[in-house]
Each structure stands twice: as structure tokens, then as C-alpha cells.
Structure 1
Amino acid sequence: MNLSRKSLAALAIPAAMMAPATAFAHPHIFAEARLEVETTENGQISELRHVWRFDEVFSSSVMLDFDRNGDFVLDNSELASISEVVTDSLSDFDYYTSLTVDGADGSISLPDPIKVSFQDGQLLMFFAVLPKEPLPLDGTIAVGVFDPTMYAAIEFTTDEDMVVTGASADKCTSRVVRPDPDEVIAQNQGSLTEAFFSDPTGNDISKLFATRLELDCK
């Protein structure tokens, strides 16, 4: 496995063989993201739709790795190989999707493989995860997107990149929450040790830093 394939797998696989463990405290891969929380006419959340556009440096490394015939174009079979790697890898981390209902963790599933394309020199991934159980628009619902290993930074450039869509989009009020890093660090100084960052399985601190969409359906 060469460097770019390792990096692609590192979107979800924490492994010392990829990089020193402390490196996971600093993102190496960057993606601009969009999240759509799709709702139904009967007042439920049906899908959490993701689009990720990766930085050009990482995208170029993926191109070099997966372009087997060397024509600088990723054909359908080459894109399918990328899809297989990321779909299998991200399953261990709930596809970087955090879902909570009134503070309790919710479960999700991925019905279809992650779709991949290459546009204007950048790698795109798009997919939808579904709540495993019926999820009515009731109480406080929060959806965040983050990499627990801190290897990848999933960024929402504007608040308009996190939206509620569908027939019941107006049932709840929503807001985008962007935690202040200094406040997060100050509130968690006791746990931010070297051992904490060296945990190759990831940790919850990245969840505290993650931008999230909160729905108030009370």
C-alpha cells in the first residue's frame, strides 16, 4: 500500500503504520462539506445527505495511486476501487456522522456504497446515511461530522452548507454551532494529555470541536 492509498484509508483506519500516532492531532486531509437533513411529510428525518470535496493535494495523490492505466482520468472501475476502500473503512466510524437525540447517541446505516467522482482536479464523495430507527422531529436533534482520529478535517465553509430540507423542513428551528477551539481546550485541559492524543482508535475530543447542525423541535 503506497502513501496515497494509505492516506485514503486513513480517512477511517487508525493505524500506527500510516503515521506517528501524535500526527492524528493535526489534520492531514481537508475537505469542504455539505450536509442536508432530509425530512418527510409525516415529520421524520429520512436521510442525512453528505457531499465532501477534498483538497487538491490529497486528490492528486489519489489520482496517482488509482489511475492504473496512467491516462490521468479515473474511469468507472478506478472510481469503484476508491469507493470500495472508503465505504469499507468509514463503516467503523459511522461514516464520520454523529447523530444525537436529546443528548443520546443515535444509530445510522449506509444503504448504498459511497459514490465517488473527480471534478476540476478534486475528489468528491457523496452518500446518504439513514437513521436505523424511525426518527421523528421531536426534542433536540444534533448532527455533526468529524473524524475521531483527527487525520481529516471536514469543513463547512458557510452556515448554508448545513441545512434542513424536505417536506417538514419548517417544523423545527435550526442553527449551525461552531465551537470555539480555545473554549473547548480550556474546558477539557484535564483530559488533553499526550496519551489522549496517542490513542490510535480516536477519541471524543474531535466531536467537541466539530461543527454541527442543531434542530430544536420542542
Structure 2
Amino acid sequence: MRGIRHIFLAAGIMTPATGLAHPHLFVETALTILYEGDIPVGVQVEWIYDDFFSLLLTSDLGIDLDGDLALSAEEEAVLDAAVTAWPEGFAGDLEVRQNGELVPLGDKTDHTMSYEAGIVRETHVRPLPQLNDPNITLQAFDPFYYIAYDLTQPVQIIGRTDCDVAVFPADLDAARALVADLLDGLAPEDVGPDEPFPEVGSEFADKVSVTCG
């Protein structure tokens, strides 16, 4: 199990509204590219859970049961442990490339959780190794498309003012056709949560291109 999916399944959250089809979860995503000098040194990732999943998560953890959308210090500790403790082997559902080559990402840092107005937000930074080129491409995706990371927030740049950001939307029709081809005509929405799904999540994800200078 992986990341948010791990939280989802470990909490035993599976309802008709969330458990019918791929994807099973929709997470608003914000990306910020961090530069030092001319070189990108990290990517800050923010995941914003929707109000329904946030409610299911807090309810299952036994916190905010009074529904006042405020947590005690003890409840915050419970939620923080559930959200920020990634399971072993979870890669973070972020891919960065430079000149077409996959860039290895460092272990997450600055991992924080917040709960405001009934919404759970998770923020962390993935360090990048020392690179020689300021230009990179990024995708946020679950390889198995259990989670759809919706890039609803503008991509931000910190540390440079001469970078252009282009977002290339995924070709969802082509992605769906690929799944059907691999699964003997089965559409993504017909694949249950416990059924095998091809590792084609990147085909459903928008691609971000950052060009500087």
C-alpha cells in the first residue's frame, strides 16, 4: 500500500462513493519549485484532501467527533502521525526529469500537516540532487491511478524570476484507451479497488515543464 492510499485502506474507509472505480481518491495538488542560484534544489508539494475524505479520515481516527472543525493538541498528534508517517517503499508519487532522464529525489523534509475548516492539508519538500541545468519537467501521479492528483493550483517558482511554466494536460481519452487495451476492454471506472490495474498512472497526469533564462 502506498501513501494516501495506505491511509485510506488502513483506516478501513471504503464507501460506495469512494470505492467503485479508478481513481478512488482525488487530491488537489500544488507544486513549488525551489531554486538556489540558477539550479533547482527541491520541490515543495502540497496535497489538499477533499472535505469528504478529510471527514472520513478524522472520523475513523476518532478525532473532531464533535464536528467543530478544531482539534486539540492530542488530536493533532493523532492526525499528524497518520498523515506524515509514510509507509516503507512509498516514493511520494512525484516524478522529476531533466533532459529526459529521471532525477532521483531525496527523502522528504519539512513534512507538515494542517487541519483547517474541516480540510486536511499535507505539505513536504522533496530535495533534488545538484543539477547542472535549471530546466526540469515534473509529474505528480500514482503509478496505479488509485489516486488522481489534480494540479488545480498554479505552479510556483521560488528563487528565480526568469522561469516560464507550461502545463500540458493529460490526454485522458488516450489514457483510457490504453487501459482498455491492456485490460481486454475494461474501462478504468470498471476496475474495482482490489483488482489489478496497469502501472499507467503517468498517462492520466498533467505534465509540468519549467524553462528558465
Counterpart of 1:173 in structure 2: which amino acid?
A: D
Secondary structure at the aligned position of 1:147 is classed as coil
TM-score, normalised relative to structure 2: 0.74
Partners of 2:93 and 2:142 within 8 A in 1: yes
Partners of 2:96 and 2:137 within 8 A in 1: yes
Counterpart of 1:207 in structure 2: which amino acid?
A: S
Distance in structure 2 (CA, Å) of the matches to 1:213 and 1:110: 21
Secondary structure at the aligned position of 2:89 is classed as helix
CA positional deviation for 1:26? 1.2
Distance in structure 2 (CA, Å) of the matches to 1:14 and 1:105: 30
Distance in structure 2 (CA, Å) of the matches to 1:69 and 1:217: 45
1:80 aligned residue: 77
Structure 1 gap segments, 5+ residues each: 1-5
Cα distance per residue 1:138-162 (max 9 Å; x no partner): 4x5211111223222211225xx22
Pair 33,130 (structure 1): closer, same or farther in 2 beyond 3 Å = same
Q: Percent identity between the aligned chains? A: 21
Structure 1 outlier segments of 4+, above 6 Å: 12-15
- Does residue 191 in structure 1 map to residue 182 in structure 2? yes
TM-score, normalised relative to structure 1: 0.73
2:155 aligned residue: 162
Distance in structure 1 (CA, Å) of the matches to 2:122 and 2:62: 17
- Does residue 38 in structure 1 map to residue 34 in structure 2? yes
CA positional deviation for 1:87? 3.4
Distance in structure 2 (CA, Å) of the matches to 1:12 and 1:109: 22
Structure 2 gap segments, 5+ residues each: none
Instruction: Compare the two structures and name the one with the higher helix fraction.
Output: 1
Pair 174,24 (structure 1): closer, same or farther in 2 beyond 3 Å = farther
Aligned residues: 199
Secondary structure at the aligned position of 2:59 is classed as helix
Distance in structure 2 (CA, Å) of the matches to 1:112 and 1:10: 20
